[in-house]
Amino acid sequence: MTPGRTARRFFAILLASATVLMAILVKPLASALFLGGVLAGVLWPLHARLIARVRGRRGLSAAVLVLGVVVVLVGPLVAFSAFIIKEGAEGSRFVSQTVRSQGVTGLIDHLPPSLAKLTHRALEHLPGSDGQALSKTVQGQVTAQTGRAAAAVGATLSATSAFVFQTAMMLIALYFLLIEGDKLVAWLDGLSPLEDGQTRELLAEFKRVSFAVLLSTIITAAVQALAALGGYLVARVPHPIFFAGVTFFTAFIPAVGAGAVCLAAALLLFATGHSYAALFLAAWGLLVVGLVDNLIKPYLIKGGMDMNGAVVFFALIGGLSAFGAVGLLVGPLVVSVFLALLRMYQRDFRPPRAAGPPPVARG
């Protein structure tokens, strides 16, 4: 074996080992780095204009954009999450204290009058049970579930801490990519085995699709929030603006969706005795608010990606199934890059077809 071949094999082993270690190192931060890269690509045109306004100070421009992302996207989402966690903990504490001090009857008395009356009648018709026995049973269940509730709160806080950490990593990645993004693109273009300009072409496709997906997601969430607000106003939901804000941010969570907020508000109306308004709001949430996501988002993404609407729809569904929430962005990106590679192959690598024999004239 020649020394040159030995060196190349040893280099290949070292490179493979370093790649595996690098993958292990990046895996916990993969989503944060990916989203930071997506936002950097989307915000790059604005970043270039802002650099000219601040006389070439790239760090100041990047800091302003990162602060804008925090104010516009992250801040309200964190505030709503903290509010929901706080209200859930206070509600659990209220139920526990009321059952322990006043029993089930005291808890029922805090319900709306119509629902409280109905519940009392139902308890009176339970066979072989009285209020005291039922209160003792419920108190025992509340005491038994206290540990589980504490564990649930702890798990929620842990998930919130993980979310805050990933968000911080995304913002840091966004800042440095805005500062050094053009150098990184030039380095990748020079390092890539593709021909000159092809790597930049793929990155441009990545940026274009990212912009289309993010813009369509934000517009779809806004349309769903406005549609839900109309339903809240018609059904006379208390604090309709607050529920519309929750609907907007919930629309970004694929597993929940904006229609879930309408259903929750409908349950609130039903519990307070507004049965017809609850029925209307539930139907409105399922038929109008819920379908907006399936109609508007693929249409908007199709306009920004120059791709068939059916392909966009299946890219969204497949990405969501394979990668979770981030798959709504990864799915269209994968399909778009795949189609770009096929076009690149057809244009730059596919050998020209040999000319066939001339047609034979027939008499």
| Same domain, residue pair 182 and 198 | no
Supply the angle between the helices 75-109 and 113-124 in degrees, to the nearest 10. Answer: 50
- Binning pLDDT at 50, 70 and 90, where does residue 304 land? low
Find the range with the poorest average confidence among 102-116, 154-168, 269-283.
102-116
- Both 221 and 165 in a single domain? no
Q: What is the reported pLDDT for 63?
A: 92
Among the ranges 83-97, 103-117, 176-190, 293-307, which has the highest mean pLDDT value? Answer: 176-190
pLDDT digits (tens, 9 = 90+) for 19-71: 899 989 888 888 888 888 888 888 888 998 999 888 888 889 999 999 988 88
Q: What is the DSSP string of 150-193?
A: HHHHHHHHHHHHHHHHHHHHHHHHHHHHHHHHHHHHHHHHHHSS
Q: Please check whether residue 17 lies inside any domain of the structure.
A: no
Count other Cβ atoms within 10 Å, centred on residue 69.
18
* 259 and 173 fall within a common domain: no
Q: d(Cα 278, Cα 344) in Å, to the nearest integer?
A: 54
Distance CA 92, CA 109 (A): 17
Distance CA 315, CA 307 (A): 11
Domain identity same for 305 and 207: yes
Contacts 24+ apart (CB under 8 A), 5-8: none
Torsion angles phi and psi, residue 359, rounded to 5: -60, 140
Question: Could you tell me if residue 325 is inside a domain?
Answer: yes
Q: Which of 144, 162, 191 is the last residue of a domain?
A: 191
pLDDT surpasses 50 at 202: yes
Together in a domain, 235 and 122: no
This prediction has a pTM of 0.66
- pLDDT digit string, tens, across residues 80-112: 666 666 666 666 666 666 656 655 565 565 556
| CA 58/CA 50 separation, integer angstroms | 9
146 and 263, same domain (yes or no): no
11-15, 35-39, 210-214, 299-303: least confidently modelled range: 299-303
DSSP letter for 239, please. Answer: S
**Do 230 and 333 belong to one domain?**
yes
Mean pLDDT of the chain: 76
Residue 334 has pLDDT above 80, yes or no: yes
Question: Are 197 and 224 found together in one domain?
Answer: yes
Q: Is residue 7 in some structural domain? A: no
Angle at 310 between CA 304 and CA 311, to 5 degrees: 65
Q: Which residue has the higher pLDDT, 297 or 171?
A: 171
Final residue of a domain: which of 191, 209, 236? 191
Residues 288 and 141 in one domain: no
Alpha helices in 192-239 (DSSP H): 198-235
Same domain for 310 and 187, yes or no, is no
Structural domain includes residue 335: yes
Which contacts qualify for 320-326: CB closer than 8 Å, 24 or more apart?
A: 320/254, 324/254, 325/252, 325/253, 325/254, 325/255, 326/31, 326/34, 326/35
Chain mean position to CA 298: 16
Q: How many domains does the chain have?
A: 2
Helix-strand-coil split of the chain, %, nearest 5: 85, 0, 15
When pLDDT is cut at 50, 70 and 90, the band that residue 128 belongs to is: very low
In a domain, 286, yes or no: yes
| Of 258 and 144, the one with more pLDDT | 258
Question: Which residue segment(s) compose the domain that 48 sits in?
Answer: 30-191
Considering the domain architecture, whether residues 173 and 216 belong to the same structural domain is answered as no
Largest interatomic CA distance in the chain: 106
What gap in Å lies between CA 133 and CA 341, rounded to an integer?
Answer: 71
- Cα radius of gyration (the chain): 29
Tokens of 159: 């998930």
The alpha carbon torsion through 10, 11, 15, 21 (nearest 10 deg) reads 50
Q: Is residue 340 part of a domain?
A: yes
For residue 225, tell me if it sits in a domain: yes
Q: Which of 165, 191, 217 is the last residue of a domain?
A: 191
Q: Same structural domain for residues 221 and 88?
A: no
